[in-house]
Amino acid sequence: MSAHQVVATKVRAIFPTNAGCAVFLGNADKVFVIYVDPAVGSAIAMTLKKVSRERPQTHDLIGRIFQGLGAKVERVVVNDFHDGVFYGRLIIHMENELGEKKIVEIDARPSDCLAIALQESSPIYVAQHVWEGMEDMTEILYKMEHQDLGFSKDEE
C-alpha cells in the first residue's frame, strides 16, 4: 500500500462542544471526529449553512488572497495523526501570466484546511493510514443528528 493513498471525504456535520466544535468528517463508509476551536468551528458552520458575513473573516481573506494571486485550492488532505493531534496540508495550484504552473503544498491545521476547502468548494481527503486508525463514529453521528443538537449538517 502506498503512503500517498487517500480517502475522499466531506464534512458531514458539526456540533458544539464545551471546548469548541466537533467536526464529523467522512463518507458513506465511515465517519470520524476532529475537534476544532470555536472560531474555526463557527466559520465551518457558517459556510455549511451558506451564511454570508458582513465583513470578511480570516478564511474569507485567505480565499481572496489566493484569488488575487491566481491560485486555487486544488484539495486539502488530513495527512497525519500523532499524540492526539491531526495534521493537514493545503494543496494549491498556481498559474502565472505566462502560463507557468506551480503546485504548492502548505502545512496547516486541519481545521483551517476544512474551512478553506468548504469556502473554496475544494475536495477534502484523508490519508489512508489516518483513515484506518480512526474509530468509526457513524452511529454516534446518526444519534446526534436525530437529537437535533448541532450547528449544521450536510444535506445529502
Q: 6-153 — its CATH code?
A: 3.10.690.10
Q: Which residues of the chain have pLDDT under 70?
A: 1-4, 148-156
pLDDT confidence of residue 156: 46
Q: Which residues pair with 48 in a beta bridge?
A: none
pLDDT in tens, 80-125: 999 999 999 999 999 877 888 999 999 999 999 999 999 999 999 9
The structure's pTM equals: 0.86
pLDDT confidence of residue 2: 47
pLDDT confidence of residue 135: 95
Q: What angle do CA 64, 67, 71 make, to 5 degrees?
A: 130
Residue showing cell 486541519: 110
For residues 115 and 94, give the distance between their C-alpha atoms in angstroms, rounded to a whole number: 20
